Amino acid sequence: MTVMALVLAVSMILCFCSCGSEEPAEEEAGMPNPVHECESADDLTQATGISLDAPEGATDVSYAYLDPAEEGGQQIAQVQFTLDGQEYCYRCQMTDEVSIYGNKDVETNPEALMTELNEQTNTGAQLAGLYCEWSCSATTTVSYCDAICAFNEGKEGFVAWLDVVPGALYSLSVDNGADQSKLEEVAKKCFAPMQGDSDADDE
């Protein structure tokens, strides 16, 4: 009987030890989500310091912010919405960038922009979070801001632009149904300069 009791005691100890080894996995599963939902545009501004909202007429609007990917990085403000049956993701991140173009030759050399996009080095593409092999890309403008656009016709695509004065980088993206003119049109409806409309009115 004593031997049997000893065997049972050892078995129970081993069982407890094996259960204890699973604790790190449970903690890992309970890690906080880097996307934080907000109730309104005002709440989003309060959390991030970034003023961002959906355009007039949008439905199914939701607000959130994303934690920075790197320590010391900037939060990303995000608004998702539906407009004319198309779903969009609108983002903004404060930055010290002085150009939307990583390569100074991009503006006059379309191949340089495509290289940036394919090598995933363009900051606008990184903000949009779309890492694809693009079939179409172009330099453009959103209001008075330099912009780039990349898309696969009828599929995914984005337009990204930089408002240099406050140092705000923006992107507007879709997962399907991409069209350059539509992306540019909706981006202009979305964009509200953080420093007011004075610069845009001078145009």
* CA distances (Å), origin 24, targets 13, 16, 34, 74, 180: 19, 15, 19, 29, 47
pLDDT for residue 141: 95
pLDDT, averaged across the chain: 83
200 neighbors 143 (Cβ within 8 angstroms): yes
pLDDT tens across 3-27, in order? 444 444 444 444 444 334 344 333 3
52 neighbors 44 (Cβ within 8 angstroms): yes
The low-confidence residues of the chain, meaning pLDDT below 70, are 1-33, 196-203
pLDDT for residue 106: 78
pLDDT for residue 14: 45
pLDDT for residue 197: 53
Strands of 67-121 (E only): list them.
76-83, 86-94
Whole-model pTM? 0.79
